[in-house]
Structure 1
């Protein structure tokens, strides 16, 4: 039934095309390029061992921002802001905005806060750890093992993604329904 409905809506042109920004990242070790990635949602650097801490220096362009100590750091696009970043206390970002979001993962200090930058800026993450169980994940799928002193450079990708969106599915209405506790609906119907 859902497939038939989707085909009908496409034929009726009951949709809009929505462009979303993407990110690209390169990993450098001792100044040499190791690998590169691109993604739509987020890139995370996180510790792999329970009880160990990741220490990551964060730079925007060439300016030092902070050292995050904790489970790791996420860099998200607006599309990724409603995924892992939201679970880590990051803000919800409207999908049409052209920003990148930096969110610490379970920081070990209350002063470590998420922040937003213009998508024309570059983020540089320097990994420091006394152990080798630090990994990089792209969109929750691709994994790559990092080593102490590795450098990850993240910026907006030159390519973007185009999504088909039904006309009646406005971002904040959909988000409100997804975030709503089903018990709240039942309680409001009982009154």
Structure 2
């Protein structure tokens, strides 16, 4: 179970990650960059702010989705309601795999 954050990153690859972001089964955007950072509770929102995300009041149940070093500025950090299903998948045109970390632990390849 994840309590604070999830990071999807490019791992040791020199290529940027190509990932698709879905919210409740709907494609929202494709992300090309180093990482995608998801903050799941109020205790890590300061970390999200250091990556460029907006501050959200701790009493607001939300997930903050932040691209790290995006290739394009078209995808800015967003806050979504805590009940939304967030899916991050490798794009079909991805050149490499991605890795996922839950609270900084267990970093398997996708």
Residue matched to 1:96: 59
1:139 matched to 2:103? The reply is yes
Bigger radius of gyration, 1 or 2?
A: 1
Equivalent runs, 1:166-177 vs 2, <5 Å: none
Alpha-carbon shift at residue 142 of structure 1 (Å): 2.5
Q: TM-score, normalised by structure 2?
A: 0.86
Structure 1 unaligned blocks of 5 or more? 1-37, 147-191
Q: TM-score, normalised by structure 1?
A: 0.52
The answer as to whether partners of 2:8 and 2:36 remain within 8 angstroms in 1 is yes
1:44 matched to 2:1? The reply is no
RCO (CA 8 Å, sep 6+): is it higher in 1 or 2? 2
Distance across 2 between alignment mates of 1:101 and 1:90: 7
Residue matched to 1:65: 28
The DSSP-based 3-state class of the residue aligned with 1:92 is: coil
Q: Which runs of 4+ in 1 moved over 4 A?
A: none
Structure richer in helix, relative to its length:
1
Equivalent runs, 1:1-191 vs 2, <5 Å: 38-49=1-12, 51-77=14-40, 78-83=42-47, 85-128=48-91, 129-132=94-97, 134-146=98-110
Structure 2 unaligned blocks of 5 or more? none
Structure 1 pair 79/93, CA: closer, same or farther in 2 (3 Å)? farther
Structure 1 pair 94/142, CA: closer, same or farther in 2 (3 Å)? farther
The answer as to whether partners of 1:58 and 1:124 remain within 8 angstroms in 2 is yes
The DSSP-based 3-state class of the residue aligned with 2:49 is: helix
Distance across 1 between alignment mates of 2:24 and 2:37: 17
Structure richer in strand, relative to its length:
1
Provide the alpha-carbon RMSD of the alignment: 1.5
**How many aligned residue pairs are there?**
107
